[in-house]
Structure 1
């Protein structure tokens, strides 16, 4: 059994200074870890220092192991990651927000992966913050890089931003040390964490995250951390605190290595990105060699919408890879366009574009790269190439609407507006909008989704939005009449109760547009409601008399839900 008064510091020699890289309670484990660091050839020397706390609170240190070795690689193994922007933090709480944590994760990815530590664990652990601060010039380089980017974005002096970030670092470290000084317990379950937080003495949110960090830092494997978080998410006590679990899962998913492990075997980058999209929406199945239990549990949480921060992290990775230079089909270059086309149709859907403007912009960058053999591809040419690639008119307009929300739209808003107006104004028949092979509900939903995107498009004037939205509504209403969709739902030979409930559900299904098409369905409902003794006829038409009243109550609930009074 380990002595709580004794700990062991594993230190490495960097720039003639001994820097702490790990704290351990067991001497044997500390020595073994030091030996493993030396064998990697990244450090000239390692040592293990025994720290013993006396009864009076003072400390005594003894070196129990010190070895030197040959440095195999003297390159910048902990160089900062490439970032092009950083959110501007104005107060201490901003450093714990998703955007700031993701920036930390990208900037010092190599350092975090070496220790298997997430940004949130770093921010809530005094020991980890100290270790990071002692890692040569890494902290100062990181502050300088972020300050430069923030100053340029905000129009401020770099020195002012550096001073602010340095002061914030000191405050974050002091806060974490103050929490650690209270000797927080190692809580194994989320119920234990919540019970500890309920004792008070610290801001509940910070205390919850700090206690979670204590437990997660006890394991040095990203997948092990994920499994702990998933086990917590399954506890009843976590039902009202899933945002904290989402926060740590999101930070863990910043690791490229963990993503590769979760995905298992993928034929190429395009397939991997498609699988990430499916996972982010809770529609994925574990692939070969993937950790099935972990993957399935994550997928279930995504399907419930319980992990919004984690979803954003996954989609951000998809957009970075899609907009980057890595081939989507490295082993079979001839399939690059085919793989890209499949991925484009996964992102651009009939109801919406996954990740909206970010996806539209990333797709444009990729199509430009694919057609680089044509010479310089202008933005308008790239847009034309994207529109040709998409299979039907709804997808084309959805893409243009998503592109209108991207950063690129700032310099081409008028041209995009003209393209959208032209595409929507071209034709009236539904077959020109969505393929005939799709089931009727999907065809109607596609038009309804397009209408919803059109009426909020900011690059279009309000009157233009209304006009184009009405145009799509007319296409849908014409389809309802031509195909007698409402008549097929309201079959005269069926019982009145069944007809009425089917009609009201159709009104609230989301496949109709507020306007002419929805009014057609509502008119048929009102027609039924106006007939004499409607409720008596409704009750009499229910085959099981004992369930008649329940069906009527359900009908009235649906009436209110769909806007009838």
Structure 2
């Protein structure tokens, strides 16, 4: 380590150099200089010797470190837009995982695409990490942008403090990658995925095996600058992988590659419209896309890799990769690009897409998808601004028809940046209209639906509200009203009288009553208490179990019914 009595840190603003700070060693001086680089208006930084007499006219030997912000177009790569405010990472490990890596993918998309590397590769390869850190002013600019976004609002904290924390994360990632650089690790490409995993697990020597596995994978993949080769190799490893933890790590590499437009385009092939492309992407994410198996027989064809990832998606083996695909669907849906060639077909096609995006009380793609749906609807109704977004929210609801789907859309939208900032009152208004104003279950769920399905539907809405980001008092208000409607529905409709009909065999009545107390049928509350009281009354009968199977002749069937009944009682919470 080079040490000096003192080093001065200079910043360049509006063409003039000025002393900004000081440090006692070159490493801390460089780190502080790069933090200054992220500040608005700073066009360059230098670390110079304290003995320098004229900071405006240094000799080459006086300048120990220098970084200048590019001013022309040339090879300048801009930091990408993030979209919604990125979640605050409290620990450096969170940067490796889903939300943190997704933000990195968006920020550095142009750089990553140009260099042919993924975020996971960069963060686990010391040379690539250093190259990214030294590239123009990209890293300081990105850190500054994230710090500013995360510091907004009353609880956001200080921008400078957040910026320092992010630079600290960068340094920790870099140091860990440097430490791993000297480790002898197997080549997955040469030694095979499962043999490599076994060798890494045996020789971890204090470092996390998962981290070392990612280092080894990065060494092989970083040499592949063709995006499809990188993707196909990762998918091939995943197909052969016998270790769930290693497969979870491979999911990171695959999801990173799926953030590249070229990979998705190759996977999609020719599409007639944006709507067709988005529907195909959703089919890919669900693992249900039809693949030409004859073409897939040739490992050189795109279909070979498409078939492999199809199977992995269908088995739910790649959760982060599925999110990456749905993130692209979300971003394209939110854009102003036409879904169809014929503008008149767009509303119909969009309604068909909503069936896939909002199948029930949960949205595919979560809050960001709810926001994208709202923006797309505003394009369709051709209304802009805040008024257009409110009108769009109102006009999406009739297209959903089902109350559970409406609840899912509104509550996911409430959890988005758009919902919290602009549409909060609008969402509250619709929630009241859907679930507070109705005086009966029949006003929420249409009367043609069977009673058990009505109760299940209202119960699913109950749980979605309970698990939402609504304030606790608001959750209580809505769920309590739904519970009271369910209780009234059971009493007024004489549901329990019909279930506990003495003319039916006791074992059938008992199972039906217990089913009323299943979590998916009725929530724990006033409504389920009515059914529980009847069940407890039966259970207290002296010879209940004998009577329960009295009409069953086969001893084996008797034992099975008793066993199944106890399982259902356990599931319904009767045994604590």
Q: TM-score, normalised by structure 2?
A: 0.70
Q: CA deviation at 1:482?
A: 6.8
CA distance in 2, matches of 1:249, 1:556: 45
1:396 is matched with 406
Bigger shift: residues 403-412 or 443-452: 403-412
Aligned 8 A contact 2:236 2:308 in 1: no
2:558 is matched with 548
Bigger shift: residues 285-294 or 418-427: 285-294
CA distance in 2, matches of 1:407, 1:163: 25
Aligned 8 A contact 1:387 1:396 in 2: yes
CA distance in 1, matches of 2:140, 2:107: 12
CA distance in 2, matches of 1:100, 1:503: 47
1:558 aligns with 2:568: yes
CA 1:91–1:416: 2 relative to 1, 3 Å: closer
CA distance in 2, matches of 1:77, 1:379: 36
Aligned 8 A contact 1:86 1:149 in 2: no
1:179 is matched with 180
Aligned 8 A contact 1:368 1:377 in 2: no
Alpha-carbon displacement from aligned partner over 1:191-248 (angstroms, at most 9, x marks no partner): 4224323212333332122123234446555555555545555567413444323322
CA distance in 1, matches of 2:457, 2:327: 25
1:204 to 202, 206, 209: 209
Alpha-carbon displacement from aligned partner over 1:475-496 (angstroms, at most 9, x marks no partner): 4455556777667767767764
Aligned 8 A contact 1:414 1:459 in 2: no
Alpha-carbon displacement from aligned partner over 1:444-493 (angstroms, at most 9, x marks no partner): 3321121123345554562x543432332344455556777667767767
Q: CA deviation at 1:321?
A: 1.9
| Secondary structure, counterpart of 1:372 in structure 2 | coil
Q: CA deviation at 1:526?
A: 3.3
2:194 is matched with 190
Aligned 8 A contact 2:132 2:139 in 1: no
2:120 is matched with 120
CA distance in 1, matches of 2:137, 2:554: 75
Alpha-carbon displacement from aligned partner over 1:490-535 (angstroms, at most 9, x marks no partner): 7767764455445434532613232344334434533543344222
CA 1:561–1:106: 2 relative to 1, 3 Å: same
Bigger shift: residues 175-184 or 215-224: 215-224
CA distance in 2, matches of 1:158, 1:531: 68
2:328 is matched with 317
Alpha-carbon displacement from aligned partner over 1:414-462 (angstroms, at most 9, x marks no partner): 4533442233233345454335666766543321121123345554562
- Aligned pairs, how many? 485
| Secondary structure, counterpart of 1:140 in structure 2 | coil
CA distance in 1, matches of 2:423, 2:78: 37
Q: CA deviation at 1:338?
A: 1.7
1:515 to 510, 515, 525: 525
1:253 aligns with 2:258: yes
Alpha-carbon displacement from aligned partner over 1:127-178 (angstroms, at most 9, x marks no partner): 4345556xxx7x2332132132134235599888888767765654453343
1:366 is matched with 376
2:96 is matched with 96
2:107 is matched with 107
2:478 is matched with 468
CA distance in 2, matches of 1:436, 1:311: 37
1:23 is matched with none
1:145 is matched with 141
1:268 to 255, 273, 278: 273
CA distance in 2, matches of 1:175, 1:115: 22
CA 1:150–1:467: 2 relative to 1, 3 Å: closer
CA distance in 2, matches of 1:159, 1:375: 33
Aligned 8 A contact 2:357 2:364 in 1: yes
5+ long unaligned stretches in structure 1: 1-73
Aligned 8 A contact 2:390 2:423 in 1: no
Aligned 8 A contact 2:105 2:119 in 1: yes
| Secondary structure, counterpart of 1:563 in structure 2 | coil
5+ long unaligned stretches in structure 2: 1-72, 152-156, 297-301
CA 1:173–1:356: 2 relative to 1, 3 Å: closer
| Secondary structure, counterpart of 2:520 in structure 1 | coil
CA 1:104–1:358: 2 relative to 1, 3 Å: closer
CA distance in 1, matches of 2:428, 2:124: 47
Aligned 8 A contact 2:287 2:312 in 1: no
1:214 to 204, 207, 219: 219
| Secondary structure, counterpart of 2:137 in structure 1 | helix
Aligned 8 A contact 2:194 2:242 in 1: yes
| Secondary structure, counterpart of 1:377 in structure 2 | helix
